[in-house]
Amino acid sequence: ALRLNGVWPAPGTYTSANSAGRISGSGSLIVTSPGPVGFTAWISNFPGLSNATASGDPDSDGVSNLLEYVLNGIPNSTNHSILPAASLTPTHFIFSFTQRTESTALTIQTFEYSTTLDDWTPIQITSPIAPEVTLGPITAGSRTVTISIPKSAAPTGRLFGRLVVLLP
């Protein structure tokens, strides 16, 4: 695999003429296998992390690298504003977050809610998308995901939610 200016190009032959100035000289490079994709490609943009695994948390902010990837975060910089936000309407509990759109094809994303923290009801965010999920327009590689849970699902008025992300 070949990495040019932080990008893993597709298999093919690369020269100074077709590499957007990233290669100089008269030779050529033949790439026979693609570079990493998804989480693996993303985490490789942060060399020197003390823990680059999906479950790692090198900045000790309580957000795993895999969640940082999905939530469009940076694994070595604390930023809790990327975490899902909760709000209320007269009829619904609303949970929303910014999602890195490329993450949807390579992860399993589920929102779970509960009134007791014991039994969780799953809502699929990645394909097939549940009816409670609304996906906003894609802008610069990310979009807002909104999950709407009817207040009737929480007769006590209390509802807990969590985002669960897994690598297949």
Q: Is 38 left (phi over 0), alpha (psi -120 to 50) or beta?
A: left
Please report whether residue 11 resides in a domain.
no
The pLDDT score that the predictor gives to residue 35 is 63
The pLDDT score that the predictor gives to residue 2 is 64
Q: Average pLDDT per run of 10 along the chain, which is 168 residues long?
A: 66 76 76 77 93 97 97 95 96 97 94 96 93 96 97 95 96
The pLDDT score that the predictor gives to residue 8 is 67
The pLDDT score that the predictor gives to residue 30 is 75
CATH number, domain with residue 126: 2.60.40.10
The pLDDT score that the predictor gives to residue 3 is 66
Please report whether residue 60 resides in a domain.
no
13: Cα within 13 Å, side-chain hemisphere? 4
Please report whether residue 18 resides in a domain.
no
Please report whether residue 49 resides in a domain.
no
Domain region containing 155? 80-166
- Nearest Cα to Cα of residue 154 among 74, 111, 80, 92: 92
The pLDDT score that the predictor gives to residue 146 is 98
Please report whether residue 145 resides in a domain.
yes
Number of domains in the chain: 1
